[in-house]
Structure 1
Amino acid sequence: MSKPTILMIRPLQQAKDFIAAFCDQTGREPTVHYAPILDISPRICAPLPKNTQYLLFSSVNGVTYFADQSEDRTIPALCVGDATQAAAQTAGFKADSADGTAQDLLNLVKRRATPSDGPIVYVSGATVAHDIAETLVANGYQAERRVVYAQTTIPLSQAALDTLSAPTLIPIMSPNTARAFADQVAHCDLTQVTILCISENARRPLAHLNAKTIIANAPTRSAMITALSHLL
């Protein structure tokens, strides 16, 4: 029986970074087909409020596009996970990781931030599964959201669709990616496809598909790589 192909539908650079991390962590070189399903484009955001006490990043894209717009590295950053933290640190921010989900990031904010110490700014894409700024405001914090990129769906290529008729593994790292994928393959036969999700939130938009879905043991890139290696 042939080994499955890994179908990477994340934006290309993030997909390549993930596979590079997979190879480093496992010492294996899988068969990969790259088919980004989302196109990322920058958006100019409004200036930060005075006395911003923390920046919140829930994605590498948020870090990348914000860093391109602002030279200020004096505001500490709180990040959803290790990959986002690494991107923030590479960009010059003092950054800590919540090691998990948006809820974990919220919990980290509540441990670190004081409502009276100034605004908290959530840096994100135009579409988010969870508006962290809104939740913080509801909990008594000063919080604002800054949109620094937008996502546009890209149709899957015929070559990508063809992989679905053979054993295929698809890592899904976000609900937005899951929704974009589900919309395009709703009528496809996915009985040979296994979708590995980083969280239950990322799995939920896929529930109606006839593919096998698995959730990693933890919402981290390392856990996703470990789970993926066990499926190969």
Structure 2
Amino acid sequence: MWEGLILFFAAFVHGLAGFAFALLSVPLLSLRHPFQEIVPLIALFGATMNAIMLWLLRKNFHLRAVAGLVVGAIPGIFLGARALGTFPEKPLRVLLFLVISTYCAWEVLSPRATRVRLSAAWGPLFGLAAGFLGGLLMAPGPPVVIYVSLLRIGKDELKSALQGAFLTMAFFMILAHGLYGLLTQETLRSYLLYLPVVLTGMALGQALYLRLGDRSYHRLVHLFLFLSALASFLKVF
């Protein structure tokens, strides 16, 4: 029951914002389950939702926006998965929270923020950071969201770019977790059990997303980016 509610809410937010499923669900699920069991399960759910939403937004997807992210993310994912269970999480979570909080405050409060634009050449660097966080914490979202937001594109282009990047990363996360023996029969049973709950939450979130304008969506992205980082940070205590 508890697990289902967490997954439903996280899937709803993902359907609405296009990210934050892992960053919301992993810290809460880890209160009752080992981290090594949760991360591979969330990767399976993430890949499923990303594939569905990318299909829905396929007309707005541009490969160039995410190609560099994917190139940088692949080695980062395997490094993060290899470090799972051995790398100290707490300092990384604190640093992640501080960086994201600073970025969100700058985006919301600075009148010059919208003038700053990144080119696609920055993709590999952000991808490497996203891949490492994804393989280790199942939290590739922050670097990806920050990078895509700084491209300054419309809401459909932004959300489709997020899905394309996350889908590719999720595939390699699943591959890495399988190679390191983290995908078990229990993981697959839990995936099939909770899949209807996750898909229902995602569908409701996507329905609400369609009612948002560009400005409202971009503000929502920064709000959920901050909240997802806060959820990850709270696991430190």
Richer in strand (by share): 1
The structure showing larger relative contact order (alpha-carbon pairs under 8 Å, at least 6 residues apart) is 2
Question: What TM-score results when the alignment is normalised by the length of structure 2?
Answer: 0.28
Q: Which has the larger radius of gyration?
A: 1
Task: Report which of the two has the higher share of helix.
Answer: 2
